Amino acid sequence: MESLKSILEAEILPLVAKPGRYIGGEYGAAAKAEAGVRAALAFPDVYEIGMSHLGLRILYSLVNAIPDFAAERVFAPWPDMERRMRERGVPLYGLETFRPLRDFDLVGFSLQHELTYTNVLTMLDLGGIPLLARERRGALPLVVAGGPGAFCPGPLEDFVDLFVVGDGEEALPELMGTVGEWKRARGGARERLIARLAREVGGVYAPSLYRERRAPDGSPAAIEPIAEGVPPRVRRRVVRVLRSSRWLRSFPVPHIAVVHDRVALEIRRGCGQGCRFCQASFIYRPVRDESPGEIAAAAGEALRATGHEEVSLCALSAGDVPWLEEAAARVAGIKMPGPVSISLPSLRPDRLTESLAERLSAGRRTGITLAPEAGTEAMRRRINKKISFDELLRFAARLRERGWRLIKLYFMIGLPGETEEDLKGIAACIGRVAAIRGGAKGKWQVNVTISAFVPKPHTPFQRDGMESPGALAEKLGFLRRAVRQRNVALKFHGIEPSVLEGVFARGDRRLGAAILAAWRRGARFDGWRELHDPAIWREAFAETGIDPAGYAGRRYAAGEFLPWDVIETGVSAGFLAAERERADRGETTADCAADGCRGCGVCEGGSQRPTGGAAV
């Protein structure tokens, strides 16, 4: 370790941007010298993003609290760091002990976004691990992947040994425990270990134990097990009782500024709103709440341990949590040298009460985000976004009156059934918000992000195709011309990266060859505008004979096999189909957490209970 650190300090880090990404040793880091099983928690993006991710924080703290287990963090190196490491022959390493990836028992990737997939290959290659799963010879390390990307595993099946589908708090320790038993028993061949894990640990999908049967057009017609004892479909893991606060009381304090440089606490997992485009709303069901007492206790301990002054109360729709105001009051009342600021990453406009507005206004007013998604009431009903234009305007006006100077709006284009009126509605909505007057002195700024709709697996819109790049470009051009207010900043997600996201969001095993071809041509950090190179991907798809439109733009017929059907979320196919029909009729579906069970299949009889589990 010392020799590697000395090489880094003397020969590499002085030559790269942001060396604080790579030095480890942060206050609060858990550097375990002795452990029976070691896991590298690999986040395939830069340090600043990975260190802000709530799931990484939870798993890191949870694993390191178990005496015989150790977890270390590893992030994707920026291209300048990758180049220097390759020149000097330095392997990618865990930040806690500078151990190379090849010397861990498990290397677990968090797949939060499809445009990080080439970074997975970079990290494996730099870490000394063969890229292709079939070429790995020793029993360990095992390459594991989880997160939203595991719900459509096909594109990475050539590279990943095991996918963990769903919540990881129980699944990861079970995996590590079985690996520990295997090591102590000197269990033998890699294939036997993979088969044992797939049979014994729920929620684990091992691609090598399944085969694809293809239709005449080459698309998957079925995915079938080829080993005894593995399920025909892998059911996601569900943590029945949310207790994430116990793992969020301490975490390494970053050396450099990160995206969310604050204490983050999960107050609710899951969302009952059921927006029909939103994958998270379906794959994280049922709704589970943390208690306000636990949140306040965790916030106090975390503030004292880290020195942060701000607490973010995190949920997919924080305003839906019934005791939000109570939790906010308790957190704001924590005794610290200075005032404690509170932030909410998401808030519905009809949930902004006077007392909550007062709490938020008392802290740092860095901006608040609202996602209308669509420009007309008709389209919002279609996608089940249950907010009105009047509520949105009242929300913005109240913020302005209380001294806020910045509001952030999110919209999507290319939604199923979108018309010219919907586009005009987006422009009108932005204009009305931008025109709000009164309140604090200073400029009223409206930052707007426009993204393309990408159909995601396990949602009511999963069978819909994505619009063509040409059609999306026309719509972006319309909005550029229509939105001219000087206090509005428009940001557009790139069309070509969005289409690439659509390809991998709905992909199968054939795409592994294209990912490898693009990576060999230099594809890295495709989610970063300055690094994404569309020409590389056009060449990679041409080389491998893949038509990207056949993935992103394909519309699947009712009942047709889907490449991700091997994964079972608990939400029934019938419910998703019914929701798609309700979209066409412009009918909304009520929030299941607030208004009772909608019969999606996850809970038993409206009990807010995962099927087969204990009450939550």
Among 7-16, 345-354, 386-395, 591-600, the range scoring the smallest mean pLDDT is 345-354
| Tokens read off for 285 | 């069901």
Is there a contact between 438 and 259 (Cβ–Cβ < 8 Å)? no
Structure confidence at residue 2 (pLDDT): 62
Structure confidence at residue 96 as a pLDDT band (50, 70, 90): very high
Q: What share of the chain is helix, strand, coil (3-state, %, to 5)?
A: 40, 15, 45
For residues 495 and 453, the answer to whether their CB atoms sit within 8 Å is: no
Q: What's 341's domain CATH number?
A: 3.30.750.210
Rounded Cα distance between 546 and 550, Å, is 8
In a shared domain, residues 173 and 292:
no
pLDDT digits (tens, 9 = 90+) for 372-400: 999 999 999 999 999 899 989 998 898 88
Q: Is 368 helix (H, G, I), strand (E, B) or coil?
A: strand
pLDDT given for residue 225 in this prediction: 96
In a shared domain, residues 92 and 110? yes
Kindly state whether residues 440 and 581 are assigned to the same domain.
Answer: yes
Judge whether 535 lies within some domain. Answer: no
- Per-residue pLDDT for 607 more than 70? no
Between strands 220-225 and 488-492, the pairing is unpaired
What would the mean pLDDT of 106-129 be, rounded to a whole number? 98
Residues 6+ apart with CB under 8 A from 469: 495, 496, 499
Amino acid at site 39? A
Quick check: 605 pLDDT over 60? no
The reply to whether 56 falls in a domain is yes
Query: What is the spatial distance between Cα 386 and Cα 596, in angstroms, rounded to a whole number?
Result: 16
Predicted confidence band at 615 (pLDDT cuts at 50, 70, 90)?
very low
pLDDT at residue 613 in the model = 32
Q: Has residue 82 got a pLDDT over 90?
A: yes
The vertex-318 CA angle with 253 and 492, nearest 5°, equals 80
Task: Compute and round to an integer the Cα radius of gyration of the chain.
Answer: 24
Q: Which is it for strands 69-75 and 310-314: parallel, antiparallel or unpaired?
A: unpaired
| Of the candidate ranges 40-44, 439-443, 612-616, the one whose mean pLDDT is the lowest | 612-616
* pLDDT above 90 (res 218): no
Task: Let me know if residue 185 belongs to a domain.
Answer: yes
Provide the pLDDT for residue 188.
Answer: 84
Which of 6-10, 377-381, 517-521 has the least mean pLDDT? 6-10
Instruction: For residue range 392-427, list pLDDT tens digits in order.
Output: 999 889 888 888 889 999 999 999 999 999 999 999
CA-CA distance, 144 to 456, in Å (whole number)? 22
pLDDT tens, residue by residue, 345-367: 777 777 777 777 777 766 565 56
Residue 36 belongs to some domain of the structure: yes
Q: Read off the pLDDT of each residue in 69-75 and give the average, rounded to a whole number.
A: 98
**DSSP class of residue 49?**
H
* 3 state DSSP class of 250: coil
Q: What is the mean pLDDT of residues 605-616?
A: 38
Q: Which residue did the predictor score with more confidence, 384 or 245?
A: 384
Same domain, 222 and 262: no
Give yes or no: residues 475 and 346 share one domain: no
How far apart, in whole angstroms, are the C-alpha atoms of residue 538 and residue 523?
Answer: 11
The domain spanning residue 12 has which CATH number?
A: 3.40.50.280
Mean of pLDDT values over 422-441: 90
pLDDT at 403: 83
Pairing of strands 445-452, 341-343: unpaired
Boundary residue ending a domain (201, 235, 269): 235
CATH classification of the domain holding 403 = 3.30.750.200
Residues 372 and 301 in one domain: no
Q: Rounded to whole angstroms, how far apart are CA atoms 509 and 511?
A: 5
Same domain, 357 and 375: no
Mark whether 276 and 323 lie in a shared domain: yes
One domain for residues 187 and 295: no
pLDDT of residue 314: 93
Give pLDDT, residue 442. 76
- Flag whether pLDDT at 606 surpasses 50: no
Place of tokens 């569309």: 534
Q: What is the pLDDT of residue 604?
A: 64
Closest CA to 108 of 51, 176, 31, 47: 176
Evaluate whether residue 520 is within a structural domain. no
pLDDT of residue 367: 64
Quote the mean pLDDT of the chain. Answer: 92
- Taking residues 58-83, what's their average pLDDT? 97
DSSP H or E segment with residue 517: helix 511-520
Look up tokens 């099946």; give the residue: 157
Give yes or no: residues 337 and 404 share one domain. no
Check pLDDT > 90 for residue 160: yes
Same domain, yes or no: 420 and 460: yes
Query: SS in 3 state form for 38-92?
Result: EEEEEECCCHHHHCCCHHHHHHHHHHHCCCCEEEEEEECCCHHHHHHHHHHCCCC
One domain, residues 375 and 360: no
pTM value?
0.95
Looking at the domain assignment, is residue 21 inside a domain?
yes
User: Of 110-114, 184-188, 522-526, which range is least confident?
Assistant: 184-188
The last residue of a domain, from among 346, 364, 382: 364
Q: Any idea which of 56-65, 237-246, 377-386 has the lowest mean pLDDT?
A: 237-246
Number of domains in the chain: 3
> Do the strands 204-205 and 162-164 form a parallel or antiparallel pair, or are they unpaired?
antiparallel
Q: Which of 435, 564, 559 is nearest to 505 (CA)?
A: 564
**Is residue 206 a part of any domain in this protein?**
yes
156 burial type by CB count under 10 A (0-12 exposed, 13-18 middle, 19+ buried): buried
In eight-state DSSP terms, residue 217 is T
pLDDT for the residue numbered 366: 59
Alpha-helical (H) ranges within 435-507 are 469-482, 495-505
Answer with the one of 364, 392, 408 that is the final residue of a domain: 364
User: Which residue range forms the structural domain that includes residue 266?
Assistant: 241-364
Confidence of residue 610 (pLDDT cuts 50, 70, 90): very low
Encode pLDDT of 138-159 as tens digits.
888 999 999 999 999 999 999 9
Note whether residue 611 is domain-resident: no
Count the residues in the chain. Answer: 616
> Any idea which of 59-63, 195-199, 249-253 has the lowest mean pLDDT?
249-253
The answer, yes or no, to whether residue 443 has pLDDT greater than 80, is: yes
Q: Which of 470, 497, 492 has its CA nearest to residue 480? A: 492
Query: Cα-Cα-Cα-Cα dihedral of 602, 603, 609, 613, to 10°?
Result: -60
Torsion of the alpha carbons at 271, 276, 280 and 283, rounded to the nearest 10: 90
Read off the pLDDT of residues 279-321 as tens digits, 9 standing for 90 and up: 999 999 999 999 999 999 999 999 998 889 999 999 998 889 9
Could you tell me which of 395, 333, 341 has the C-alpha nearest to residue 365? 341
